[in-house]
């Protein structure tokens, strides 16, 4: 954008009139040509996954409007207050954290499915992947001692109705225990005939199927009612059995508006923190991520020919050589 501005004749002395910055490195922004009064500073100790409430939320405010951004903050604040004030037996972040620990540490669940039934939440699972796995993907406690239990689960999922034709089969009849969070608005922003009622029906029935399942006797009765002979009934019945007793939560919002979304994001933030506190790990660092960034500098320099010494392992060096020989740049 800076090059485009200068190429079209914009004077560099007036660059500051056209650019603002959100950064934890104001010096670099000033060197870039942005005036100090045009810089929105942010703390360098705020991880990206927790930062949308800070100055980095400016693009959100520009996209949805300041009043809606204030509603987003208000929803988060409401959840903050609930978390700090509600009794533990009624405290949503605490209850969800304890359920996750119960299924993960005591029942061996290694992953959790996040299943929003709303197109506007189609990227919410991706956000929770970073929030949860970057925060609690740790193998040592805060004092540096190793943990001897599972910490952060693998977070996966996606829009519910699409998932029903893909990975829900694994949830219902697979060999892994996978807790699921269903997230659904009571009211739609795009009401059309009875579409939303069908959406709700799909969501609730999936949760119901996970809970109840289908017994061998029920499967046999269904097949006999269709007129199949007994040999065929006995052949098919084991395949139609569904174990049931598989855990899920249903989180029902009034609608996916800024207030509700702010509360939903804050709910999961506090849940992740509670789990980290119980496990004794630090949810606010990400040294594994930092290692990749550090190594990336050396890989880049070798890819571009700035560094002649080989990489520290033959595998990476071989890959660097492969790309250098075949890259058309």
Which residue out of 37, 90, 226, 293 is catalytically annotated?
Answer: 293
Which entry of 71, 134, 220, 269 is annotated as an active-site residue? 134
CB 35 within 8 A of CB 22: no
Active site annotation includes 293? yes
Closest C-alpha among 156, 160, 157 to residue 119: 160
- Identify the active-site residue in 37, 90, 165, 325: 165
CA–CA distance, 151 with 196 (Å, rounded to integer) = 37
In sequence order, the 6+-apart residues with CB closer than 8 A to the CB of 244 are 209, 210, 211, 212, 213, 214
List, in sequence order, the alpha helices (H) in the chain: 2-7, 26-32, 58-64, 66-85, 92-101, 124-128, 135-136, 160-163, 168-173, 195-212, 216-225, 230-240, 258-279, 287-303, 314-326
Q: Is 134 a catalytic residue?
A: yes
Q: Tell me whether residue 271 is one of the annotated catalytic residues.
A: no
Cα 312 from chain centroid? 34
Q: CA distances (Å), 314 to each of 160, 317, 319, 320, 324, in order? A: 44, 5, 9, 10, 15
Which active-site residues does the annotation give? 134, 165, 293
């Amino acid at each position: 954008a800076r090059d485009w501005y200068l190429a079209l004749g914009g004077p560099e002395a007036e660059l500051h009139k056209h650019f603002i910055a959100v950064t934890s490195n104001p010096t670099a922004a000033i060197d870039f040509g942005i005036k100090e009064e045009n810089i929105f500073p942010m703390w360098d100790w705020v991880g990206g996954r927790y930062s949308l409430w800070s100055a980095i939320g400016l693009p959100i405010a520009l996209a949805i409007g300041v009043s809606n951004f204030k509603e987003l903050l208000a929803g988060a604040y409401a959840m903050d207050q609930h978390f700090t004030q509600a009794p533990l037996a009624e405290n949503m972040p605490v209850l969800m954290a304890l359920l996750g620990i119960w299924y993960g540490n005591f029942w061996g669940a290694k992953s959790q499915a996040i299943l929003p039934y709303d197109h506007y939440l189609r990227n919410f699972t991706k956000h929770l992947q970073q929030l949860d796995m970057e925060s609690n993907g740790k193998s040592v406690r805060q004092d540096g001692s190793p943990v001897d239990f599972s910490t952060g689960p693998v977070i996966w999922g996606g829009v519910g109705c699409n998932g029903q034709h893909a990975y829900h089969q694994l949830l219902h009849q697979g060999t892994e225990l996978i807790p699921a969070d269903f997230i659904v608005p009571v009211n739609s922003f795009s009401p059309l005939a009875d579409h939303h009622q069908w959406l709700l029906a799909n969501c609730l029935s999936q949760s119901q199927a996970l809970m109840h399942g289908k017994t061998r006797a029920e499967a046999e009765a269904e097949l006999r009612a269709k007129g199949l002979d007994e040999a065929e009934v006995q052949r098919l019945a084991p395949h139609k059995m569904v174990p049931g007793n598989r855990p899920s939560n249903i989180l029902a919002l009034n609608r996916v508006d800024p207030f509700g979304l702010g509360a939903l994001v804050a709910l999961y933030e506090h849940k992740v923190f509670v789990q980290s506190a119980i496990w004794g790990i630090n949810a606010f660092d990400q040294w594994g991520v930092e290692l990749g960034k550090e190594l990336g500098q050396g890989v880049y320099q070798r890819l571009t020919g700035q560094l002649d010494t080989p990489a520290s392992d033959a595998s990476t060096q071989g890959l660097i050589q492969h790309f250098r020989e075949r890259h058309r740049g």
